[in-house]
Homo-oligomer: A and B are copies of this chain.
Amino acid sequence: MTRGFPASEYQARLARAQAMMDTAGLAALLLTTEPEIRYFTGFLTRFWESPTRPWFLVVPARGAPIAVIPAIGRHLMAQGWISDIRTWAAPDYTDDGIGLLADTLIEVAGADGRIGLPDRMESHVRMPLAGLTRLQSLLGAHRLTGDATILRRLRLVKSEAEIAKIRTACAIATRAFARVPEIAAPGLPLSQVFRRFQMLCLEEGADYVAYLAGAAGQGGYGDVISPAGDTPLAASDVLMLDTGLVYDGYFCDFDRNFSIGPASAEVQDAHAKLMEATDAAFDIARPGACAVDLFHAMNAIVNPCGGVAEAGRLGHGLGMQLTEWPSLVPDDTTVLAPGMVLTLEPGIALPGGRIMVHEENIVIRANGAEYLSGHSPGPIREVALK
């Protein structure tokens, strides 16, 4: 698969953004985080792991985006379609890009144009708070405002080119999960299973494994976000691996459960309910249905007495980030549309504080949904005791 996207992909994103900016009365967008900047520029690097330097993208209401970035990023940014690249020698202890950014915003937004920053759930402003305060004072108090959820609405619907990358990531993880019986065995510490599973993901084609969580416990586990300990796998453990591996900047996010040796009737029943819940949401997932509908379809099966699981949601959006808008929760009224990519992630509570969670990835199509994650309903897979 060709890496990256043609410039036309970014031009289409920009045109949609600028139409929304007109409606919202915004003269510019100010973006500071990795996915927001990459969405318009294609700037793909793991260097965001370093918290030292702020990075900025200014998207004007007319014309092309302007990158206001540390000099260390100029060479890579110049490989893409952005031509207006303004840099400073970061880290600069006197003025770490704020003056250059303010000048650029004033040039673009004029004397009184409003400048929108993503400010709602799932967002944050990636720059020092003191820098943001200084920027506000350079621009005047009321110039900076919210982005009217423009970034959220743009990223919610994926292009076919984006879906192809997510599909590739999912296929890599599907192949890695199929090989788990090669690398898991009773007596092996969970930390070793985690290492070997990440190696499988790489061997199958992942660029890197940005996320791996999981757990193993007798007949279920305590949570789904813990790192691996060194406790060896034992007969009757349920092993769960949940990966968000990355291919060309796009994530998958799904899990698989395995029984170490034969599964108890209780575990088999819980697993069957998770499959049933996943398929129930899948069956109604189509344009016009709402995020909340998928929640209720699953919750009626895994949580028949009502209430909300501790995870707080039963799925979410997926794409350039491991988790994206929307959430499958009772309050989410997002109307599904073709091109949305979602996870279905039902969880079930078992006696003794144990849980089991299953997760699949789907894309909404014109007439329904499509599994991206190699969903194969059936009993929980068994890792042989030898």
| CB-CB under 8 A for A312 and B89, given A45-B225, A51-B123 | yes
A202–B76 Cα distance when bound, in Å, is 28
| CB-CB under 8 A for A121 and B91, given A146-B130, A199-B199 | yes
Chain B residues within 8 Å of A51, by CB: 122-124, 321, 323-324
Taking the closest CB of chain B, its distance from the CB of A192, in whole angstroms, is: 10
Taking the closest CB of chain B, its distance from the CB of A5, in whole angstroms, is: 14
A47 and B213 form a contact (CB under 8 A)? yes
Chain B residues within 8 Å of A196, by CB: 202
Task: Judge whether A71 is part of the interface by a CB distance below 8 angstroms.
Answer: yes
| CB-CB under 8 A for A71 and B206, given A46-B212, A323-B52 | no
Task: Judge whether A103 is part of the interface by a CB distance below 8 angstroms.
Answer: no
- Which of A8-16, A162-170, A257-265, A325-333 lies on the face that meets chain B? A325-333
Chain B residues within 8 Å of A89, by CB: 308, 310, 312
Partner of A72 from the list B44, B90, B225 (CB cut-off 8 Å) is B225
| CB-CB under 8 A for A71 and B210, given A45-B225, A51-B321, A203-B195 | no
Partner of A119 from the list B92, B128, B191, B198 (CB cut-off 8 Å) is B128
A interface size (C-beta, 8 A): 83
B117 and A322 form a contact (CB under 8 A)? no
A208–B206 Cα distance when bound, in Å, is 14
| CB-CB under 8 A for A191 and B207, given A71-B310, A93-B331 | yes
With A44-B227, A46-B227, A52-B323 known, 6 other A-B pairs at CB within 8 A are A46-B211, A47-B213, A51-B123, A75-B310, A124-B124, A208-B212
Residues of A that sit less than 8 Å from B by CB: 3, 44-47, 49-53, 70-76, 79, 89-94, 96, 117-130, 133, 146, 191, 194-196, 198-199, 202-203, 205-213, 222-230, 244, 308, 310-313, 316, 321-324, 327, 329, 331-332, 353
21 contacts between A and B (CB under 8 A): A45-B225, A46-B225, A49-B211, A51-B122, A51-B123, A52-B323, A72-B310, A76-B225, A89-B310, A91-B313, A119-B130, A124-B128, A125-B129, A129-B146, A195-B207, A198-B198, A198-B202, A198-B208, A198-B209, A208-B212, A209-B209
